Amino acid sequence: MRVHVIGLGGAGGRIVDRLAADHDGDRFLQGVSAFDTDMEALGSLRSLGEDRRYRFGDAAGGDGLDGDLHAGRELGEVHAGELGRALDDQRPSLAEAFVLVVGVGGAAGAGAAPALAEELGTLYDAPVYSVAVLPTPAESDPDAETGPGTEAAPPAGGDEGSTPRRPLAQRNAARTLEALSERTAAVLPFDTDAWLGPGETIPGARDRLDGIVADRVAALFGAGETDADAVTPQQVLDASDVARAVGDDGEFTALGYATQEVEPPKTESRFGLGLFGSSEPEKVDTSAAVSAVETVIRKATRGKNTIEVPEGRADRTLLVVGGPPAWLNREAIAEGRRWLAEETGSGAILSGDAPVPDGEAVFALVLRSGIDDPERIREIRDSIPDRTE
């Protein structure tokens, strides 16, 4: 599936920069861009060239907006057309979907994302999905322990320090999630708090968390794209499958992902000497392949997802299993689908496989959409009891 991924604001910019570092040149990444009002944050990006970074909002003076979501929304409305045109050099008309990545507790990215989503939906016949990075409760907690310099987010390139204090983060997140649900086909929240380790701070965990989000974006949208000379999947995953799985009503979607290293099958000549004729891979022990497939499916389902899935239930579920072709046991994948249908209560399970001829691991991606509101989402919404604006 060919996607154009756009990072908005500081968190979104860092994540798409990581995505470009790991996957630039991959077929699924039709385009990648970073938009921000903060010159320093854009300047800290290392894998996106200047032609793919764009500063908007001269009224902000080149700095951030200090959590002022209202100002961010005004800038977004004014500059949405300008941001849409900033994509033109990367041929956005070839994208099968647009993915907006944004920290919803901020102001610049969170303010601009809904307006840009609407602009892209008007210009192109492709769905717009949003990846919403949630703030932690501690960022808005006035009684939380803070350290020097934590009244605002630390420098864009910094790794050390305490969790930053952003008093408006939770309320910004509530308003932005509501706006994204109205203007994008699906919202994929990432629960930052759930992924922090004991005693870990956001600055200290930033690189790791950015990598987790980037990996899951790549696993989902890259699953159906293979090189021309690669092994053809038996069940090809395309843009319509993803669209059917996530829906188009702005519902919340959770991603689970798991991998297990395996021994790539050795290749031997049909004549035994490796000197003549075409080479064929050795067969993989069936029980080992079945175990690997079943293990990654269960871990991706019941392990830590991008957001909690209450009782594991979902209206729609998508399963992708990938890895070295010899390890993709068809019976195990079929059994995994049956188990997943019971686990999630989904009426139908969409699925695809992603053969990776030179891969060294089997992986599973489980997407669940139409889930009940997770507790973290309810907490964020409750920060604004009347949710009026």
- In this structure, what CATH number is given to the domain that contains residue 271? 3.30.1330.20
Is residue 242 included in any domain, yes or no?
A: no
Is residue 381 included in any domain, yes or no?
A: no
Give the chain's domain count.
Answer: 2
Is residue 231 included in any domain, yes or no?
A: no
Is residue 386 included in any domain, yes or no?
A: no
Same domain, 137 and 210: yes
Same domain, 174 and 309: no
The pLDDT assigned to 236 comes to 76
- Count of all residues that appear for the chain in the document: 389
Task: Phi first, then psi: give them for residue 246, nearest 5 degrees.
Answer: -85, -20
Same domain, 217 and 257: no
- Interhelix angle 9-23/108-123, rounded to 10 degrees, is 60
pLDDT digit of tens for each residue in the chain (389 aa)?
999 999 999 999 999 999 999 999 999 999 999 999 999 999 999 999 999 999 999 866 656 688 899 999 999 999 999 999 999 999 999 999 999 999 999 999 999 999 999 999 999 999 999 999 999 999 987 665 443 333 344 444 444 567 778 899 999 999 999 999 999 999 999 999 999 999 999 999 999 999 999 999 999 999 877 665 556 677 778 899 999 999 999 999 999 999 999 987 776 555 554 444 445 667 899 999 999 999 999 999 999 999 999 999 999 999 999 999 999 999 999 999 999 999 999 987 899 999 988 899 999 999 999 999 999 999 999 998 765 44
Same domain, 263 and 179: no
Same domain, 82 and 129: yes
Same domain, 315 and 170: no
Q: Which residues contact 210 (CB under 8 A, 6 or more apart)?
A: 11, 14, 15, 18
139 known member of a binding site = no
Which token pair is 246? 């996530």
Range of the domain at 113: 3-222
The pLDDT assigned to 280 comes to 61
Domain boundary among 173, 199, 222: 222
Same domain, 121 and 42: yes
Q: Does this model's pTM top 0.85?
A: yes
CATH number at 142 reads: 3.40.50.1440
Same domain, 62 and 162: yes
Is residue 389 included in any domain, yes or no?
A: no
Same domain, 205 and 71: yes
Partners of residue 369 on adjacent β-strands: 253, 316
The pLDDT assigned to 158 comes to 42
Spacing of C-alpha 329 from chain mean position: 27
Same domain, 277 and 340: yes
The Cα 147–Cα 164 span in angstroms is 8
Is residue 383 included in any domain, yes or no?
A: no
- 3-class secondary-structure state, position 179: helix
Same domain, 357 and 259: yes
The Cα 305–Cα 194 span in angstroms is 9
The pLDDT assigned to 155 comes to 40
Is residue 354 included in any domain, yes or no?
A: yes
Is residue 201 included in any domain, yes or no?
A: yes
Same domain, 36 and 178: yes
Which residue has 């922090």 as its token pair? Answer: 196
Give the type of residue at 117.
A
